[in-house]
């Protein structure tokens, strides 16, 4: 198979042998594709190396002969978002999620569109927690795992005042007891309804979505978590501020990923 001027987003690139890269990209028509980019470390190849950085939108030419395609050419379509601190770690998480969940060589137009959208939200500096919860919802939908966040597993409308676990197959499952510790992995009904309506929930409601959605994703990841989750957990255990986002205004404080609730 030949790819000619194929649009894609770069998810990951790592050195291979002495002068080459192994690159994973997400295209609309062919899904996730593995590329071998040979001879990219020379002094005249800096433009090509820049085009193969994560988050970059590219068009590429390649020939698929086996599991990996041989890259012939690639050019950047635009400038990738310049991210720092929390936002950079969020981008690493988004890319890792796509790498783990998106199968190779299966058309993914919905996922490609969702990635394009979240990329621009990161560029615009929109709130990270809400940006990630929306993308997690959109990834599940694009890959055929969509949940109806407005009705529970019995077909009843979600109660804004109740709390719910998220079953990976059946969706919201109402919590009927309030024993200590049982609320931790549950979302508020208000948060689920806001997610269904694509309206940002506030405060504790937004925070309540993180762990239930993570449990659903973990199910579809086959029970094996993500490196980005481990990184966030380690930052939290150490109490470290982590990499700080670059302030936009003089004196602006920047929170760590572990403290930001995403």
Domain boundaries, the chain: 2-76, 85-260
**Contact between residue 163 and residue 189 where contact means Cβ atoms under 8 Å apart:** yes
Q: Quick check: 228 pLDDT over 90? A: yes
pLDDT score at 108: 94
What average pLDDT does this structure show over 158-167?
97
Structure tokens at 97: 């999620």
Q: Report the CATH number of the 85-260 domain.
A: 1.20.1440.120
pTM, whole model, 2 decimals?
A: 0.87
CA angle, residues 109, 110, 116, in degrees to nearest 5 = 90
What average pLDDT does this structure show over 121-137?
97
Q: Quick check: 34 pLDDT over 90? A: yes
Out of 92-96, 156-160, 225-229, 235-239, pick the least confident. 235-239
Q: Quick check: 217 pLDDT over 90? A: yes
Taking the C-alpha atoms of residue 182 and residue 180, their distance in angstroms, rounded to an integer, is 6
Taking the C-alpha atoms of residue 245 and residue 262, their distance in angstroms, rounded to an integer, is 14
Residues 6 or more apart whose Cβ sits within 8 Å of residue 102: 26, 31, 32, 108, 111, 143
Residues 6 or more apart whose Cβ sits within 8 Å of residue 170: 153
The label of the residue with tokens 């950047």 reads 76
Q: Quick check: 68 pLDDT over 90? A: yes
What average pLDDT does this structure show over 195-211?
96
What average pLDDT does this structure show over 125-143?
97
Q: Is residue 121 helix, strand or coil? A: helix
Q: Quick check: 6 pLDDT over 80? A: yes
pLDDT score at 181: 61
Q: Quick check: 10 pLDDT over 90? A: yes
Element (H, E) at 146: none
List, in sequence order, every beta strand (DSSP E) within the chain: 2-16, 20-27, 31-37, 57-64, 69-76, 163-167, 171-174, 187-188
Q: pLDDT tens digit string along 166-194?
A: 999 999 999 987 665 667 789 999 999 99
Q: Quick check: 106 pLDDT over 80? A: yes
Q: Quick check: 196 pLDDT over 90? A: yes
Question: CB neighbours (10 Å) of residue 53?
Answer: 14
What average pLDDT does this structure show over 197-211?
96
Q: Report the CATH number of the 2-76 domain.
A: 2.40.50.140
**Contact between residue 25 and residue 33 where contact means Cβ atoms under 8 Å apart:** yes
Q: Quick check: 255 pLDDT over 60? A: no
Structure tokens at 60: 């590429």
């Amino acid at each position: 198979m030949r790819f000619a001027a194929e649009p894609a987003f770069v998810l990951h690139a790592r050195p291979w042998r002495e002068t080459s890269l192994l690159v994973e990209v997400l295209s609309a028509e062919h899904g996730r594709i593995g590329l071998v980019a040979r001879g990219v470390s020379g002094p005249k190849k800096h433009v090509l190396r820049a085009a193969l950085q994560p988050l970059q939108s590219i068009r590429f030419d390649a020939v698929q002969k086996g599991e990996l395609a041989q890259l012939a050419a690639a050019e950047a379509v635009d400038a990738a978002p310049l991210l720092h601190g929390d936002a950079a770690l969020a981008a690493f998480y988004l890319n890792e999620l796509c790498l783990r969940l998106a199968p190779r060589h299966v058309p993914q137009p919905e996922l490609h569109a969702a990635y394009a959208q979240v990329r621009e939200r990161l560029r615009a500096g929109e709130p990270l927690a809400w940006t990630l919860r929306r993308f997690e919802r959109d990834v599940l939908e694009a890959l055929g795992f969509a949940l109806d966040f407005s009705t529970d597993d019995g077909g009843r409308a979600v109660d804004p005042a109740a709390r719910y676990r998220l079953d990976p197959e059946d969706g919201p499952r109402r919590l009927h007891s309030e024993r200590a510790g049982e609320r931790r992995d549950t979302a508020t009904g208000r948060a689920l309804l806001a997610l269904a309506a694509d309206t940002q929930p506030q405060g504790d409601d937004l925070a309540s979505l993180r762990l239930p959605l993570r449990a659903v994703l973990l199910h579809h990841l086959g029970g094996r978590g993500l490196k980005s989750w481990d990184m966030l957990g380690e930052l939290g255990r150490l109490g470290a501020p982590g990499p700080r986002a670059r302030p936009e205004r003089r004196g602006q404080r920047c929170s760590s990923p572990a403290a930001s609730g995403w």
